[in-house]
Amino acid sequence: MNINTSKELYKKAKNIIPGGVNSPVRAFNSVGGSPLFIRKAEGAYLYDEDGNKYIDLISSWGPMLLGHADPDVLKAVTETAKNSTSFGAPTRLEIEIADLITDTIKGIDKIRMVNSGTEACMSAIRIARGYTGRDKIIKFKGCYHGHGDSFLIEAGSGALTMGHPSSPGVTPGTARDTLIAEFNDLDEVEKLLKANKNKVAAIILEPIAGNMGCIPPEKGFLEGLRSLCDDHDTVLIFDEVMTGFRVAFGGAQEIYGITADMVTYGKIIGAGLPVGAYAGKKEIMDFVAPTGPVYQAGTLSGNPLAMAAGYTLLKKLHDNLSLYDELEVKSKTLEQGLKKVLDDHYISNYTNRVGSMIGIFYSNHKVTGFKGANTTNKELFRKIFHHMLERGVYLPPSPFEAFFLSNALKIQDISLIISAFEDSISSICTKN
């Protein structure tokens, strides 16, 4: 595989952009080698600057649920752009997308658009603090809520991949207000709440952890958090930046039947344009300026191109929910195929899947939280990653990221991925 152009671009980029990338995981640091510079994508395929084609299992880290360059999304964006790219004044489009979400998702009376998942989560905890008059939050080890100061403590995703789960530059004062619990450990949460009585404004979590692999909530965990939050007057925030509109239209809230007080969105909600949102019950959302005293604003928030893209994708999903069934079949086929390859080669693995998110832990333990996730064989993953890339399959370049499938994948693509995996594993095993 020739990637000379990508290598050259990377060399240039490193001199003028930190690490050559605008977001750390893209740099391939944890898998080694040179990142690919992508020129275009269509459906389930990525094309790099050297003209190589890959089956994409990242889907832009989530947004491309229906694949790249969806014709309806492209049409909406180009048509909207003709009327200018931003006004800094309200538009009809913002009402349409807010209407669709508040109408269809339980527990959401009002929604505010922002420009990224990070912004959504930062804003959500500020509102929760303003609403409760309390300072502390509880988050879970290995969960990622963007790069806001309060969240860069035992964080997942790139922070975990790069070995900086707790980042320098976050002040001790901020860190003190973030209490940490192990995912799926309800007792730990209860202890924290008791030890910090009337001090915890919010519990924030990925209801399905997706930034340390894919870890579903154990039975009773979300229910338990819901009732602890009720008992302690603490705001329960589901960070559905990854899971929202992916595991079901109504996200994890829908599949587990638990309603949070606030929900954050990102990724799919913008169909690949920079969008995030936070939403919730009226009484909480009315604390947001200009109705309420908690300040949060954005020059480009609710940007017309972003709203047009997001609305078009969400409407398509909403009007054709059977897409989720199709994606479920493909995801299940892929999960079972990959697992069979590993089992046939006696490679210990613990494989999780919720809908179109798949996480393989190369580990002989059941993985329910950060401790378990960290036992995954990172060296084996590194080898697999490069073997798969050679065979035209682009996996997330980190042992701690889930695979995100798109419905543009055809069943032949799934078979190709599985046979590439079989070839990769066979050649890794022979070499050892």
**In Å, how far from its chain's centre is CA 421?**
24
Question: And the tokens for 427?
Answer: 């050649």
Work out whether 211 is an interface residue with ligand PLP (CB under 6 A): yes
Strand partners, 113: 277
Q: Are 279 and 110 in contact (CB under 8 A)?
A: yes
Stretch that binds ligand PLP, among 113-121, 293-301, 336-344, 409-417 (CB under 6 A): 113-121
**What is the C-alpha to C-alpha distance for residues 232 and 229, in angstroms, rounded to an integer?**
5
CA 46-58-257 angle, 5° bins: 145
Work out whether 158 is an interface residue with ligand PLP (CB under 6 A): no
Q: Are 65 and 75 in contact (CB under 8 A)?
A: no
Q: Are 258 and 111 in contact (CB under 8 A)?
A: no
Stretch that binds ligand PLP, among 42-50, 112-120, 344-352, 370-378 (CB under 6 A): 112-120
**What is the C-alpha to C-alpha distance for residues 237 and 126, in angstroms, rounded to an integer?**
12
Which residue number places its CB atom closest to ligand PLP? 117
Stretch that binds ligand PLP, among 46-54, 100-108, 138-146, 250-258 (CB under 6 A): 138-146
Residue of 10, 45, 54, 144 marked catalytic: 144
**In Å, how far from its chain's centre is CA 192?**
26
Q: How far is the CB of 231 from ligand PLP (least distance, A)?
A: 26
Rg (Cα) of the chain, in Å, rounded?
A: 21
**What is the C-alpha to C-alpha distance for residues 189 and 371, in angstroms, rounded to an integer?**
16
239 is catalytic: yes
Instruction: Give the interface size with ligand PLP as a residue count (CB under 6 A).
Output: 15
Work out whether 239 is an interface residue with ligand PLP (CB under 6 A): yes
What residues numbered 320-379 form the site for ligand PLP, per CB under 6 A? none
Q: Which residue in 177, 206, 254, 261 binds ligand PLP (CB under 6 A)? A: 206
When the beta carbons of 251 and 304 are compared against ligand PLP, the nearer one is 251
How would you class 74 by CB atoms within 10 Å of its CB: exposed for 0-12, middle for 13-18, buried for 19 or more?
Answer: middle
Q: Which residue in 142, 213, 266, 280 binds ligand PLP (CB under 6 A)? A: 266
Work out whether 141 is an interface residue with ligand PLP (CB under 6 A): no
Q: Beta-carbon neighbour count of residue 295 at 10 Å?
A: 11
Work out whether 277 is an interface residue with ligand PLP (CB under 6 A): no
Stretch that binds ligand PLP, among 47-55, 144-152, 281-289, 418-426 (CB under 6 A): 144-152
When the beta carbons of 58 and 327 are compared against ligand PLP, the nearer one is 58
When the beta carbons of 144 and 362 are compared against ligand PLP, the nearer one is 144
Residue of 48, 56, 177, 239 marked catalytic: 239
**What is the C-alpha to C-alpha distance for residues 199 and 186, in angstroms, rounded to an integer?**
18
When the beta carbons of 36 and 273 are compared against ligand PLP, the nearer one is 273
When the beta carbons of 117 and 272 are compared against ligand PLP, the nearer one is 117
54 is catalytic: no
Strand partners, 265: 277
> Nearest Cα to 66, choosing from 44, 87, 89, 84?
44
> Nearest Cα to 178, choosing from 133, 138, 126?
138
Residue pointed to by tokens 């240039």:
12
Q: Which residue in 91, 116, 363, 375 binds ligand PLP (CB under 6 A)? A: 116
Residue of 110, 141, 267, 383 marked catalytic: 267
Residues near 198 by Cβ (< 8 Å), separated by ≥ 6? 134, 232, 233
Q: Which residue in 63, 117, 280, 304 binds ligand PLP (CB under 6 A)? A: 117
Question: And the tokens for 262?
Answer: 């606030």
Work out whether 215 is an interface residue with ligand PLP (CB under 6 A): no
Work out whether 242 is an interface residue with ligand PLP (CB under 6 A): yes
**In Å, how far from its chain's centre is CA 126?**
21
Q: How far is the CB of 62 from ligand PLP (least distance, A)?
A: 7
Stretch that binds ligand PLP, among 64-72, 102-110, 115-123, 399-407 (CB under 6 A): 115-123
Active site (catalytic) residues: 144, 239, 267
Contact footprint for ligand PLP (CB under 6 A): 116-118, 121, 144-146, 206, 210-211, 239, 241-242, 266, 276
